[in-house]
Structure 1
Amino acid sequence: MFTSLSLRLRIFLFFCLVGLGGVVLVLLAVYVGYQRSLGGDVLSAFVFTAILAGFGMVALTAGVWLLFDENVAKPIERLAATMRTRAHAGVEQQVDTHAARYLGDLAPAAEAVSTVLTKTTMETAETVAAETAHLAAEKARLTALLTEIPVAMILVSPAHQIVLYDGQAAEVLSQIHTPRLNASIFDYFKPKSLDRAYKRLAKTGKEVSFTAEGAEGKLTFDARLKPLGHAPGYMILIDDEHAQITPDAARPLVYDFDLMDNATDGARTIEDTPIRSLTFTVFDTETTGLLPHKDEIVQIGAVRVLNGKIIPGEEINQLVNPGMKIPAASTKVHKVTDRMVANAPDIHAASRSFHTFARDSVIVAHNAPFDMAFLRRHGKTNGLDWRHPILDTVLLSAVLFGASDVHTLDALCDRLGVTIPEELRHTALGDAVATGEVLCRMLPMLESRGFATFGQVIEQTRKHGRLLEDLN
């Protein structure tokens, strides 16, 4: 019966309930006060009447508000979140018409609009998929051709940021640090010789040979800088045997040519930077327990997100020797045993590697205060400064879906259509990948709400500060 009422009539009835209920409460309070006044204490009767009427109105208002919140406000909030998820995250999520059953025709209308949009999106996606398959085939041919060329290649932007590297270049870079798109080339090679060669290249416009020195003195080998004609940037070619390149290795390409067009604006602060142009390092840890002040990390997993996509191959999956026994209860959750970590690096070496991996990026985690507490505690002794800007997917979920919703990683994955293989659940890398996928789906949803810069997003997350500590 009640579900057949229109939304306008339902809201009208809420106000009628407040009005009529208020009148009834006042009359009841007056009657009770009148009965007390018969005893002769008129002042006491009037005071009692006022108090009784006041408390009654407050109770009535609270009750009506709870009804309105549960049957109107929350369903509208969930309906809006579902529509944004379907529209901007590309998730085929049904509108919960039962939860919105008291909203009149709003839920069916939203479902109809979403269905039409989804159909149009699917048709567009099929066209894009066909073109993507064509591009993938072209990329496969290019990869096959490159495999025959025994030279490692790194494409660098005019701002000296890595735009492309092939499989053999990844071998070279990984001897210094994990390869990372959009990282400064000077994170891998000492600036002195490379900068001198680049100046000669810019002056002559011709290929320049030079001796490349790896950062931290890890490598020295012959390399060449090659101009790109009229295009900006340059290419580093490495064919020195000292670089330990595997000649017949597969040559998968990792690239993002949009990085060529990203001008570096030194005057722009992190708060004013569009979230789409940020580089994110998404990570998770597994630990010996749940007390950051005394327990230890046993595994670190991390991936990088750039231009709304997880970069294949740019990841950390590192076991860590905690220097203590791993409790059986913890091993039961994350499957990491004492034997597995016996020869693993300690937390100082592991966190130093992760610190380099996360350089010049925004760190993202699910319940970030927990994971960061371990790193910051050890940072006091190993000298690592964890002042990276930080985003927490728990708070992003509260911004997009409302603070009253469930914000566990499993709930977010279900809501956004992210699948975590059972064998990867509660592993550091598996949860990091899942959190990265969740982040990629959230970014366009945040933009659709008008939160386009990092500062705007942080401002919104701080409205839900009671959920988690603000690490920024």
Structure 2
Amino acid sequence: MTHLSLRIRIFLFFVLIGLGGAALFFVALYVGYLKASTGDVTSGFVQAATIGGFGLVGMTAGIWFLFDENVAKPIERLAAGLRARAHAGAHGGVDAETAKYLGDLAPAAQAMSQQLSASTMHTASAIAAETERLTAERDRLTALLTEIPVATVLVNPHHQIVLYDGQAAGVLAQIHTPRLNAPIFDYFDQGAVEAAWKQVGKTGREVSFIADGAENEQTYSLRMKPLEQGSGYVLIIDGAEAHIDPDAARPLIYDFDLLVQKAGTAADETPLRELTYAVFDTETTGLLPHKDEIVQIGAVRVVRGKIVSGENIDMLVNPGMPIPPASTKVHGISDAMVRGAPSPDKAVPSFHKFAKGSVIVAHNAPFDMAFMHRHGKRLGLEWKHPVLDTVLVSAVLFGASQTHTLDALCERLGIVIPDHLRHTAMGDAYATAEVLCKMLPMLEARGIITFGDMLKETRKHGRLLEDLN
């Protein structure tokens, strides 16, 4: 049967419907005739109609099941696999077992996929465009680095962080985790920064000022230098050596595209690529959010479709209760490991600040967010963040009938999770972030551009998971 073409295979389904229907009604009429021959004509017609009607419905359902399992689902899986290779850079061939009843469709798809990959790799225009972009970005960074001193933060006109060097990161970290695209007001007093920015706008010259830290009692001596054409400013932290290691690395974290980012756009109206995501995972004492507790939080940030190196949370949490041996066997965290760790009262607010201004992303988000909401009510934290669940995104891209575990997604998209990081909060958070980055271009290719578009699609799969938005 596997050698038959897809066209012949579909033809045979219709032949089965036709012949099966004819045979069924012949049997129904024959049974009705036997009943009518006894003198009960009405009962004969009723019996024939009942057998024929219910038999046809049952036969149609059976043939539909065969068609769905052997044709429809394999085509859906094949299409999803091709999209993953075309838009997410996933590697690997077409699953021969899945596509064995699709005739020449699978080999043709494989050939097209290979040809497309080869053509893409050797397209001169694509290489030239990428080289030009990288060269321009390198020249811009080089020019900036020749002028900026140590402990420097580059900020766009909307007061969002575009770049920070290693020593500036050390100062910012005293207040909270350094984050690209975060408001500078999360770190320094808003009034002082806005007053300096207003003065810079009037004079066009450097302004020195003092600002309090946003969340501590320290004060910082700052200088603000305007960038060309009102495209933002450079914030220089004087005396940073008093706060951090003076041998810290030079600028490492930047994204110059943030200089031209729009401000004030609602998440639903924002393109998925332009959003900032806080991707997180938790390890817990058990699977009951109403009574179990967090033992580890791992989180990374994704800005404009890229994971930002160094912007993460990786903390053990003291649950205030014994960790069951069965749970320790899964995630490897014991009572001894969390003995000196912060409690949920400190860990949950820390993640809340880390996720400020971001879309929260998790794999099976209702489970992890249940812990956050429970503690949020007690600690006075509001979780108003938009939430994106990679389980639902997977259902949109690959079909609800597929497997949507994190392991299955990683295998499908060519992502490798090191064994020592699997079932750790940080390892799973990083894997989920990589999955997200791979799926964003696939969503765009499907015409799902904004976060609002994404919500409309994921709500079609509400039977899988609770909608947290």
TM-score range, shorter chain: over 0.9
- Secondary structure of the 1:313 match is strand
**Inter-CA distance 377–413: structure 2 relative to 1 (3 Å threshold):** same
Q: What does residue 104 of structure 1 align with? A: 103
Output the amino acid matched with 1:332: K
Output the amino acid matched with 1:282: V
Q: What does residue 322 of structure 2 align with? A: 325
Cα separation, 2, equivalents of 1:134 and 1:360? 29
Determine whether 1:382 maps to 2:379: yes
Determine whether 1:76 maps to 2:75: yes
Q: What does residue 303 of structure 1 align with? A: 300
Q: Quick one: percent identity of the two aligned structures? A: 64
Cα separation, 1, equivalents of 2:305 and 2:56? 51
Q: What does residue 49 of structure 1 align with? A: 48
Q: What does residue 410 of structure 2 align with? A: 413
TM-score, length of structure 1 as denominator length: 0.94
* Residue 431 of structure 1, aligned match among 425, 428, 434: 428
Q: Deviations over 1:230-267 (max 9, x none)?
A: 36100000122575032122224200000111121x3x
Cα separation, 2, equivalents of 1:142 and 1:247? 21
Q: What does residue 271 of structure 1 align with? A: 268
**Inter-CA distance 124–440: structure 2 relative to 1 (3 Å threshold):** farther
Q: How does 1:129-144 map to 2 (within 5 A)?
A: 131=131
Which region of structure 1 is more displaced relative to structure 2, 367-376 or 39-48?
Answer: 39-48
Q: What does residue 170 of structure 1 align with? A: 169
Determine whether 1:32 maps to 2:19: no
- Secondary structure of the 1:4 match is coil
Q: What does residue 466 of structure 1 align with? A: 463
For residue 35 of structure 1, report the CA deviation from its aligned partner: 1.6
Determine whether 1:284 maps to 2:281: yes
**Inter-CA distance 235–179: structure 2 relative to 1 (3 Å threshold):** same
Output the amino acid matched with 2:198: K
Q: What does residue 7 of structure 1 align with? A: 6
- Secondary structure of the 2:337 match is helix
For residue 120 of structure 1, report the CA deviation from its aligned partner: 2.4
Q: What does residue 211 of structure 1 align with? A: 210
Cα separation, 2, equivalents of 1:136 and 1:346? 47
8 Å Cα contact 1:225/1:234 also seen in 2? yes
Cα separation, 2, equivalents of 1:332 and 1:136? 50
8 Å Cα contact 2:151/2:240 also seen in 1? no
8 Å Cα contact 1:301/1:318 also seen in 2? yes
Cα separation, 2, equivalents of 1:293 and 1:132? 54
8 Å Cα contact 2:415/2:431 also seen in 1? yes
Cα separation, 1, equivalents of 2:191 and 2:459? 43
Q: What does residue 154 of structure 2 align with? A: 155
Q: What does residue 440 of structure 2 align with? A: 443
For residue 343 of structure 1, report the CA deviation from its aligned partner: 1.4
**Inter-CA distance 258–97: structure 2 relative to 1 (3 Å threshold):** same
**Inter-CA distance 288–364: structure 2 relative to 1 (3 Å threshold):** same
Q: Deviations over 1:430-457 (max 9, x none)?
A: 0000000000000000010011111111
Q: Deviations over 1:271-297 (max 9, x none)?
A: 221111111110000000000110000
Q: What does residue 222 of structure 1 align with? A: 221
8 Å Cα contact 1:326/1:337 also seen in 2? yes
For residue 340 of structure 1, report the CA deviation from its aligned partner: 1.3
**Inter-CA distance 7–118: structure 2 relative to 1 (3 Å threshold):** same
Equivalent residues, number? 467
Determine whether 1:370 maps to 2:367: yes
For residue 149 of structure 1, report the CA deviation from its aligned partner: 7.9
Q: Deviations over 1:181-201 (max 9, x none)?
A: 000011111111111111111
Gaps of 5+ in 1: none
User: Over aligned residue pairs, what C-alpha RMSD do you find?
Assistant: 2.4
Q: What does residue 119 of structure 1 align with? A: 118
**Inter-CA distance 330–61: structure 2 relative to 1 (3 Å threshold):** same
8 Å Cα contact 2:163/2:251 also seen in 1? no
Q: Deviations over 1:155-188 (max 9, x none)?
A: 0000100000000010011000100000001111
* Residue 313 of structure 1, aligned match among 307, 310, 313: 310
Output the amino acid matched with 2:417: I
Cα separation, 1, equivalents of 2:5 and 2:109? 15
8 Å Cα contact 1:157/1:259 also seen in 2? yes
8 Å Cα contact 1:320/1:341 also seen in 2? yes
- Secondary structure of the 2:228 match is coil
Output the amino acid matched with 2:310: G
For residue 124 of structure 1, report the CA deviation from its aligned partner: 5.5
Cα separation, 1, equivalents of 2:41 and 2:358? 73
Output the amino acid matched with 1:154: V
**Inter-CA distance 269–337: structure 2 relative to 1 (3 Å threshold):** same
8 Å Cα contact 2:168/2:240 also seen in 1? no
For residue 360 of structure 1, report the CA deviation from its aligned partner: 0.8
8 Å Cα contact 2:276/2:302 also seen in 1? yes
Cα separation, 2, equivalents of 1:259 and 1:249? 24
8 Å Cα contact 1:172/1:243 also seen in 2? no
